[in-house]
Amino acid sequence: MYNVMIVDDEPIIRFGLKSSIDWEKETLQVIGDFPNGKQALEAMETDCHVDILITDIKMPVMDGITLMKKALDINPKLKVVLVSSYNEFEYVREGLTHGAIDYILKPTLEPETLLKTVQKCVSKIHEEQNIEMKLENAERTKVQASHRKLELEMKKILLKNKKSIETEDIVSMFQVPHNIILIKIKEKDKVDEEFGFLYKSLIFEEIQERFYMETDEGVCFPIGENELVCFLRKTTDSLSLATSIKEKVEKETSIEFIYGYDVIRDLHDLVSGYHRALSACRRHFFHHEKDIFKYRPALEKDVEALSVKGLEELLLDSNEESPGKVIQERYLLWSGETMTQANIKREASNILKALFLKKVELPVLMENLSRIDTSSTLEEVYKSLMDGIEVCNHSLSNINSKPNTDNELLDKALRFIHAHYTEEMTLQSVADHIHISRNYFSILFKRLMEQNFIDYVIDLRINKAKELLVETSMKVYEVASDAGFNDVKYFSKLFKKITGHSPGDYRSTYVK
């Protein structure tokens, strides 16, 4: 059983959340509900272990974001779900940045939505437990155990910006200069769409294994969902080392990465050096054609983004029916590196708001604003903005003509997916089949199915594989192929992450 805590200042919302789910059926139990963050935190601090925290954002005494941060300090493995209103998107974004798993909207809260969100949390807990089990099995030797301990300590130092470092192994390690290389996934949203959210962790595990096979003079570990950091004793030129690591990584995977590097002089430079490597990676935003970057001070000036109102006036003053001319002018300004990434994204979002706020359905607009916000390059920001305009125009035409169009499109797509999921299938191929753009289909599918397209297809393929393992005597590579997986190694790792069993163990367990 996993423990759930509910926090909301409205009694009716707390009651609704508690009564919406058969908690025991989901192997969960609600151990308490509280009207504010302060009371909830006090309960946690008195040895009340919580696995899943469902909390409102705006509350008296202590708000949900503050509660989440303090609760994660107590239990870093805690899974947090935020409950918000439509006008709290900035708070939601902050919460997701600091580690919340997901959010649910009060005005549209349905038992099915809450159930799927909670199941997502449980799935994440299981995934982490499986990863921990794998690590325990893999780290039987003294060297492996030492690596793991060092990784965890360094991860805490970097994520918490600790200035005082007393861990003996780390103090000893940084008596001499080290290269730091931050490896960051390029186009992370596209990777999620094409391969599913579990794929990244599998790739990072392979890179980590390869790193330790080739050197014992450094440490390498994931530091977020999309980043992996390497520290190596400075015995070679940093650029040569970054290039060498890039070549080895690219042999392992088809995913593209960004590499930011610098030199850490000593122990006191550790946290600053990590932030310099992060800053180096951010240069990719303006230079999407490159992928290896040395740290240098930022060139951007503090030019503010135009407000929604300012853009509305600018668009109104334009003599053109299309906003293209105004957008091109802003794009030229963005390209000059005179604005920060944050201000460029803010201005692009404001353009979309100026054009469509209060005209299209809010979830459609929010999804497209989110795509702009998660864009990793200036080119992506521009493309996300133009795609967003296309999607919103499409949505606007549906509102003005045929209200059930989206559901009809989804039904047609699902029939095609279920008929062909064991064959090679992409987001683009399904979008082409129902005659809409890839971007619009991606948003439509996620909005109506509450799941990414590729994760839905993977679920179908894994279920097909389960069926074939139990009902046939086919070899594992044959099962993988017939279920729609081209790579049996990837299939086996993915199957174990999702089911907790290797394909062979699953067959042994369920074949009577």
Q: What percent of the chain has pLDDT over 90?
A: 36
Question: Is residue 281 scored above 70 in pLDDT?
Answer: yes
- Domain harbouring 109, CATH code: 3.40.50.2300
- In terms of domains, do 27 and 122 share one? yes
Q: Which residues of 73-91 are buried (b: 16+ CB within 10 A; e: fewer)?
A: eeeeebbbbbbbeeebbeb
- In terms of domains, do 280 and 157 share one? yes
Mean pLDDT of the chain: 85
Q: How confident is the model at residue 440 (pLDDT cuts 50, 70, 90)?
A: confident
- In terms of domains, do 113 and 199 share one? no
- Residue 373: C-alpha distances to residues 154, 315, 341, 352, 444 (Å): 29, 22, 10, 12, 19
Report the candidate in 216, 217, 259 with the shortest Cα–Cα distance to residue 240: 259
Tokens 């907790």 belong to 500
Which residue type, as a one-letter code, is found at position 2? Answer: Y
Question: Is residue 164 scored above 90 in pLDDT?
Answer: no
User: pLDDT value at position 155?
Assistant: 86
- How far from the centroid of its chain's Cα atoms is residue 47's Cα? 30
* Residues 189, 192, 197, 198, Cα dihedral to 10°: -130
In a domain, 137, yes or no: no
- In terms of domains, do 155 and 288 share one? yes
Q: How confident is the model at residue 301 (pLDDT cuts 50, 70, 90)?
A: low
Whether the Cβ atoms of residue 258 and residue 284 lie closer than 8 Å to each other: yes
- In terms of domains, do 200 and 273 share one? yes
In a domain, 50, yes or no: yes
Most confident of 160-164, 265-269, 310-314, 488-492: 488-492
Give the least confident one: 171-180, 314-323, 451-460: 314-323
Half-sphere exposure of 198 (CA within 13 A, CB side): 23
Which residue type, as a one-letter code, is found at position 484? Answer: G
User: pLDDT value at position 402?
Assistant: 53
- In terms of domains, do 431 and 337 share one? no
In a domain, 136, yes or no: no
Question: Is residue 319 scored above 80 in pLDDT?
Answer: no
Whether the Cβ atoms of residue 431 and residue 410 lie closer than 8 Å to each other: no
Question: Is residue 22 scored above 90 in pLDDT?
Answer: yes
Average pLDDT over residues 314-324: 67
- In terms of domains, do 414 and 361 share one? no
Q: How far apart are CA 476 and CA 504, in angstroms?
A: 8
Q: Which two tokens stand for residue 320?
A: 């053109």
- In terms of domains, do 158 and 266 share one? yes
Question: Is residue 254 scored above 80 in pLDDT?
Answer: no
Question: Is residue 80 scored above 90 in pLDDT?
Answer: yes
- In terms of domains, do 464 and 425 share one? no
Question: Is residue 290 scored above 60 in pLDDT?
Answer: yes
- Domain of residue 84: give its range: 2-131
User: pLDDT value at position 365?
Assistant: 86
User: pLDDT value at position 86?
Assistant: 65
- In terms of domains, do 118 and 200 share one? no
- In terms of domains, do 164 and 276 share one? yes
Whether the Cβ atoms of residue 483 and residue 465 lie closer than 8 Å to each other: yes
In a domain, 127, yes or no: yes
Q: How far apart are CA 217 and CA 352, in angstroms?
A: 50
Q: What is the DSSP string of 190-259?
A: HHHHHH-TTHHHHHHHHHHHHHHHH-SSEEEEE-SSSEEEEEEES-S-HHHHHHHHHHHHHHH-S--EEE
- Domain harbouring 480, CATH code: 1.10.10.60
In a domain, 103, yes or no: yes
In a domain, 12, yes or no: yes
User: pLDDT value at position 55?
Assistant: 93
- Domain harbouring 213, CATH code: 3.30.70.270
What residues contact residue 124 under an 8 Å CB cut-off, 6+ apart?
A: 79, 101
State pLDDT tens for residues 460-490. 999 999 999 999 999 999 999 999 998 898 8
Give the least confident one: 105-109, 332-336, 483-487: 105-109
In a domain, 372, yes or no: yes
SS3 32: strand
Number of structural domains in the chain: 5
In a domain, 426, yes or no: yes
Half-sphere exposure of 379 (CA within 13 A, CB side): 9
User: pLDDT value at position 460?
Assistant: 96
- In terms of domains, do 81 and 44 share one? yes
Classify strands 227-233 and 218-222 as parallel, antiparallel or unpaired.
antiparallel
Whether the Cβ atoms of residue 181 and residue 245 lie closer than 8 Å to each other: yes
